[in-house]
């Protein structure tokens, strides 16, 4: 049972007296007053019904109701126990059925008056002679005769030895007590009528609740029986050539209908479907049925499973005889109880006490254990009749499981074999299994697939009756005649020892004709199929040949196995081969005189011996095939168990390969991007180098103008700074192959030696955050920082000097002298150019997006925005015009340097002098002795560039 065995929820039916409750409901329907005990039973029933409903509805797994219990939830959903009725009854009636004092004011007052009257009587009779007793509800005195003349004699007792009297003062008190008793009974009767009316108003719901509880009780009993025997859920198979009747719900489910209107038919069909869902809930896999499919009531391929494979008409694998299994369990229970009693007696004798839990036995269940683990294991697995039990418990034999495999087209199975070999037990097991399946019970087998049999017709045992002048043979004939008249397409016929009771030849002829008629096969060909399936046991060899005499597979042979070595049956069924009776071997086993057995063997003849040997060879081959099948099934089981693990491993390998492919593709894509960035940086460096060479050549030949010369000076200065920074940093660290800066990487700027982190990468331009400064440099001017990412404070190698403007620095570089010492060095050969100027914040280089003013050329004074910065050659958008000029020929539009006054501001005109600003006040203060203006050198330089 799913609830109890797997979900840990138990269904408790304790306290429900269904007979008393049903009788009380019938009385309440007719407004007959209910007694106290009936009302108390009604309260217990309503409480138990409410508890059952809550138990079923509250079962959940991880907060979700399990789907296996959906049929039970549907059953209890319509149940309305009416707890308000129970509450009304409990306020008036106690658990024993007595009426409470507070049930009504009248009852309280009547009982109070009665108690007062009884107290007065006790006081009045306290000092009287005689024994106080009651007679017909009145308090009297029992005295010895003669009675006092003034007393009222009400009766005698003790055979006349005592006289019951009422003294003169007690008569009136007894009258008052009688009135109080009558008042109490009247109050109770009123309460009973009131409570009965409340129950009568709820009788429809209470009747429905009682039916639901009864139904749940039957379901629980079936489930617990199935769990105790490890039974499996049966599956009904549609026989070949049969169609499902979808208009009715006949007894078989395959044919027939239900008389009445269409609505009645539909209601009955729905009720039957609900009952079937209750009998066989969707709990595949819980009872050892390996998740087999449900009932074949969809009309798709009788006897076929989901993949269309042909199956058997009856498949009962590992079938245990239900009666034998139940007897074994009961015997084991009794044996355990007897063993527990003996153990308790032994402990008592030796002074030992039970454990704190008061349990006995190895499994801790106590003395009243109904089942035993070892026994159930044997019963479930169908082990041959070995014994089970502890050393101190009587050994109990369990039933042996048999396999019943009836082919799809078979209509009659002839079972042969030795006596006491289990032929009749196997046949009975099939009949009981069909009845259990039809009753909604699980079948004690590993697999249970069989048709729906609406009737089971049996001819087993000796039915002779001397009073009716019926011998064994005549009684058998009477039964067989009744079976022929009652058999139908959905009947299961069980016939034991068919054809016995008369001469072997005539009995075999009668038995063969009977089986042919039941199978629908006669001398004139196929006739109406009279029985769905017939199982017959026999010892007649002629009946074994029916399988070979009638083509079409209507007959099948089966035999019970016999162990040649042990000379004992194994109680197993072998299918497809006829069996031998083994009468001679069994006679030897039971001690018949050996000479008699030898004479009987000689009388059989050589031909019979040859047939027996042939059948023996077939049985040996069959056993070998069974072993091969067993090994094959073991291999298949191993394959089924290993296949999911192989599939899971293959899935992991595929996932790993896919991840490796994705990683490789990502690496290739990243390498391509890095290579593209490196190529762009190399191309830019080549362009810068070419531009530098061109500017140097033009400067050397003098064929350049002022702006070009200034650009060359700036490039030379940047190169010098890069070299100086590299020298200061030491030999450059090896840059990893394919490295390109990414946002957040620590880098070193080669041109300045500053350390920082990359803030932005846009093509070949890199923005580096160095402390509070942001530098925009080329990708070729940075390398990874191998040291700890610490911010370094950059200081110049030589003392800081007052910085001139950008134009003045360029002129000094071209002249090869320091402008502050031009007079002293006028007659001295100028040293090589030295570009050691430090740029202040106003010496930033304009780049894309900056607003600038052109300071030279035909477009001097034009203001615009830099839209392209191509290695120092700027493209400036001034209105609709687009101008190109070097970076040295522009200045920020917001920076206009004044004359000697040092004033700076927007809109002020610059002094003549080729756009060269004068030093600022700060510079003059810092120098304390500004150098005289080198007018001659400047004029010569300006004359060289044709500037005035």
- DSSP state at residue 904: B
pLDDT for 197 equals 93
What is the DSSP code string of 204-243? HHHHHHHHHHHHHHHHHHHHHHHHHTT-B--EE-PPTT--
Nearest in space to 846 (alpha carbons), one of 876, 810, 802: 876
For 596, phi then psi, to 5°, come to -65, -40
More confident of the two residues 925 and 322: 322
Least confident of 60-69, 393-402, 487-496: 393-402
Tell me the C-alpha distance between 500 and 188, whole Å.
73
Q: Is the pLDDT of residue 377 over 60?
A: no
Question: What is the pLDDT at residue 382?
Answer: 41
Which pLDDT score is estimated for 540? 83
Q: Tally Cβ neighbours within 10 Å of residue 382.
A: 23
**Higher pLDDT residue, 834 or 334?**
334
Contacts of residue 201, Cβ cutoff 8 Å, sequence gap at least 6: none
Over residues 890-937, the pLDDT tens digits come to 888 864 444 333 333 344 434 334 444 444 444 344 344 444 444 444
pLDDT score of 418: 81
pLDDT, residue 316, reads 92
pLDDT, greater one: 940 or 512 = 512
pLDDT per position as a tens digit, 536-548:
998 888 888 888 8
Q: Which pLDDT value is given to residue 888? A: 77
The closest alpha carbon to 892, from 881, 906, 912, 909, belongs to: 906
Contacts by residues 113-121 (CB-CB < 8 Å, ≥ 24 positions apart):
113/180, 113/183, 114/177, 114/180, 114/181, 114/183, 114/184, 117/173, 117/176, 117/177, 117/180, 118/177, 120/173, 120/176, 121/170, 121/173, 121/174, 121/177
How do residues 625-659 score in pLDDT, each as one tens digit?
A: 878 888 898 888 888 888 888 988 899 898 888 88
Token code pair at residue 130: 């005689």
- pLDDT of 708 over the 90 cut: no
Highest mean pLDDT among 140-149, 209-218, 543-552: 209-218
- Write down the pLDDT at residue 724: 64
Exposure string (b/e) for 662-682, b if CB count within 10 Å is 16 or more?
eeeeeeeeeeeeeeebbeebe
What is the distance between the alpha carbons of residues 23 and 38, in angstroms, rounded to a whole number? Answer: 9
Average confidence (pLDDT) over 508-520? 88
If pLDDT is split at 50, 70 and 90, which confidence band does 359 have? very low
What lies within 8 Å, CB to CB, of 325 at 6+ separation is 229, 379, 398, 399, 444
At 606 the pLDDT is: 55
CATH 2.40.110.10 fits 409-441+451-622, yes or no: no
User: CB atoms < 10 A from the CB of 270, how many?
Assistant: 11
pLDDT attached to residue 590: 72
pLDDT in tens, 52-67: 888 888 887 788 888 8
pLDDT of residue 734: 60
User: Which residues on adjacent β-strands are paired with residue 560?
Assistant: 573
Q: pLDDT: is 530 or 701 the higher one?
A: 530
Residue 243: what pLDDT? 55
pLDDT of residue 593: 78
With tokens 């800066």, the residue in question is 741
- pLDDT higher than threshold 60 for residue 793: no
Comparing CA positions, the residue from 564, 263, 212 lying closest to residue 418 is 564
Per-chain mean pLDDT for the chain:
73
The more confidently predicted of residues 718 and 460 is 460
**Strand 491-495's sheet: what is its strand order?**
455-459, 491-495, 533-537, 412-416, 555-563, 568-575
Provide the pLDDT for residue 795.
Answer: 42
Would strands 455-459 and 314-319 be described as parallel, antiparallel, or unpaired? unpaired
DSSP class of residue 190 equals H
Nearest to 520 by CA among 511, 530, 510: 530
Summarize the confidence of residues 138-159 as an average pLDDT: 78
Contact 320, 375 (CB under 8 A): no
* Residue 278, pLDDT above cutoff 80: no
Higher pLDDT, 746 or 282: 746
Q: How confident is the model at residue 24 (pLDDT cuts 50, 70, 90)?
A: very high
Cα angle 853, 857, 862 (rounded to 5 degrees) comes to 30
209, 76 in Cβ contact below 8 A?
no
Question: How much is the pLDDT for 87?
Answer: 92
Q: For residue 131, what are the β-bridge partners?
A: 142
Give dist(CA 461, CA 459) in Å, integer: 7
As assigned by CATH, the class of the 706-731+796-944 domain is: mainly beta
Domain residue extents for the chain: 2-128+167-220, 139-165, 323-397, 409-441+451-622, 623-702, 706-731+796-944
Instruction: Return the top range by mean pLDDT from 191-205, 466-480, 515-529, 857-871.
Output: 191-205
The rounded distance, in Å, linking the Cα atoms of 317 and 637 is 17
Instruction: Please give the structure tokens belonging to residue 464.
Output: 């002779």
Give the pLDDT confidence of 767-792 residue by residue, as tens digits.
988 877 888 888 878 888 877 444 44
> Which of the residue ranges 393-397, 847-851, 880-884 would you say has the lowest mean pLDDT?
393-397
């Amino acid at each position: 049972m799913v609830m109890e065995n797997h979900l840990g929820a138990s269904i408790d039916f304790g306290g429900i007296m269904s007979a008393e409750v049903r009788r009380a409901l019938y009385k309440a329907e007719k407004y007959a007053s209910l007694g106290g005990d009936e009302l108390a039973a009604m309260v217990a029933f309503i409480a138990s019904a409410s508890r059952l409903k809550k138990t079923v509805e509250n079962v959940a797994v991880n907060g979700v109701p399990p789907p296996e219990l959906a049929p039970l939830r549907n059953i209890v959903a319509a149940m309305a126990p009416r707890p308000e009725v129970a509450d009304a009854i409990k306020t008036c009636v106690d658990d024993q059925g007595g009426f409470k004092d507070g049930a009504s004011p009248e009852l309280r007052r009547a009982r109070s008056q009665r108690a007062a009257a009884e107290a007065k009587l006790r006081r009045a009779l306290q000092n009287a002679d005689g024994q106080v007793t009651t007679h017909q509800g009145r308090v009297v005195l029992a005295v010895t005769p003669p009675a006092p003349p003034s007393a009222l004699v009400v009766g005698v007792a003790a055979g006349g030895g005592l006289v019951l009297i009422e003294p003169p003062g007690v008569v009136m008190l007894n009258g008052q007590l009688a009135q109080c008793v009558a008042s109490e009974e009247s109050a109770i009767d009123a309460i009973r009528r009131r409570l009965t009316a409340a129950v009568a108003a709820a009788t429809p719901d209470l009747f429905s609740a009682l039916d639901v509880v009864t139904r749940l009780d039957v379901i629980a009993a079936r489930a617990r029986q199935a769990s105790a025997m490890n039974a499996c859920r049966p599956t009904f198979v549609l026989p070949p050539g049969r169609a499902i009747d979808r208009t009715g719900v006949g007894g078989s489910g395959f044919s027939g209908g239900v008389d009445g209107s269409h609505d009645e038919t539909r209601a009955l069909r729905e009720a039957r479907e609900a009952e079937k869902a209750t009998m066989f809930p969707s709990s595949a896999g819980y009872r050892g049925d390996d998740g087999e499919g449900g009932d074949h009531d969809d009309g798709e391929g009788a006897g076929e499973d989901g993949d269309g494979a042909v199956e058997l008409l009856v498949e009962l694998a590992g079938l245990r005889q239900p009666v034998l299994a139940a007897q074994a369990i009961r015997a084991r229970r009794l044996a355990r109880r007897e063993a527990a009693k003996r153990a308790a007696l032994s402990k008592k004798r030796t002074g030992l006490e039970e454990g704190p839990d008061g349990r006995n036995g190895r499994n801790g269940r106590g003395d009243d254990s109904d089942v035993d683990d070892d026994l159930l294991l044997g019963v479930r697995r169908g082990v041959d009749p070995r014994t089970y039990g502890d050393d101190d418990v009587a050994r109990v034999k369990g039933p042996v499981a048999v396999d019943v495999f009836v082919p799809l087209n078979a209509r009659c199975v002839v079972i042969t074999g030795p006596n006491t070999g289990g032929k009749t037990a196997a046949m009975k097991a099939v009949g009981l299994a069909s009845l259990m399946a039809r009753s909604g019970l699980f079948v004690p087998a590993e697999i249970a697939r069989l048709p729906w049999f609406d009737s089971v017709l049996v001819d087993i045992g000796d039915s002779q009756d001397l009073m009716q002048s019926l011998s064994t043979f005549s009684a058998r004939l009477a039964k067989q005649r009744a079976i022929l008249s009652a058999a139908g397409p959905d009947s299961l016929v069980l016939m034991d020892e068919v054809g016995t009771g008369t001469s072997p030849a005539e009995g075999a002829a009668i038995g063969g004709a009977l089986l042919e008629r039941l199978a629908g096969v006669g001398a004139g060909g196929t006739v109406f199929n009279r029985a769905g399936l017939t199982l017959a046991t026999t010892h007649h060899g002629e009946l074994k040949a029916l399988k070979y005499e009638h083509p079409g597979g209507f007959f099948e042979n089966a035999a019970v196995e016999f162990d040649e070595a042990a000379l004992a049956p194994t109680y197993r069924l072998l299918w497809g081969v006829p069996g031998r009776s083994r009468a001679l071997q069994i006679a030897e086993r039971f001690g018949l005189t050996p000479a008699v057995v030898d004479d009987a063997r000689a009388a059989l003849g050589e031909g019979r011996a040859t047939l027996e040997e042939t059948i023996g060879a077939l049985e040996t081959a069959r056993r070998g095939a069974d072993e091969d099948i067993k090994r094959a099934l073991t291999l298949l089981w191993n394959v089924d168990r290993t296949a999911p693990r192989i599939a899971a491993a293959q899935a992991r390998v595929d996932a790993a390969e896919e991840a490796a492919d994705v990683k490789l593709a990502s690496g290739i894509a990243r390498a391509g991007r890095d290579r593209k960035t490196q190529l762009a940086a190399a191309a830019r460096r080549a362009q810068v180098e070419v531009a530098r060479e061109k500017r140097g050549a033009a400067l050397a030949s003098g064929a350049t103008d002022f702006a070009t010369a200034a650009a060359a000076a700036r490039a030379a200065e940047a190169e010098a700074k890069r070299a100086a920074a590299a020298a200061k940093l030491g030999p450059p660290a090896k840059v990893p192959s394919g490295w390109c800066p990414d946002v957040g990487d620590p880098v070193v700027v080669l041109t300045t030696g500053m350390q920082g982190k990359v803030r932005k990468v846009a093509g070949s331009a890199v923005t580096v955050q160095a402390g509070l400064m942001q530098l925009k440099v080329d990708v070729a001017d940075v390398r990874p920082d191998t040291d700890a990412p610490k911010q370094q404070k950059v200081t110049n190698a030589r003392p800081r000097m007052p910085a001139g403007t950008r134009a003045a620095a360029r002129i000094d570089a071209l002249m090869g002298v320091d402008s502050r010492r031009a007079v002293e060095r006028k007659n001295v050969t100028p040293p090589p150019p030295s570009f050691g100027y430090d740029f202040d914040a106003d010496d930033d280089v304009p780049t894309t997006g900056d607003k600038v003013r052109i300071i030279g050329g035909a477009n001097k004074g034009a203001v615009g925005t830099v839209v392209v910065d191509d290695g120092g050659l700027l493209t400036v958008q001034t209105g609709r015009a687009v101008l190109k000029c070097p970076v040295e020929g522009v200045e920020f539009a917001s920076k206009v340097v004044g004359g000697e006054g040092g004033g700076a501001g927007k809109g002020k005109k610059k002094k003549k002098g080729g756009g060269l600003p004068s030093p600022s006040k700060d510079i003059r203060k810092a120098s304390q002795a500004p150098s005289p203006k080198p007018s001659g050198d400047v004029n010569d330089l300006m004359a060289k560039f044709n500037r005035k």
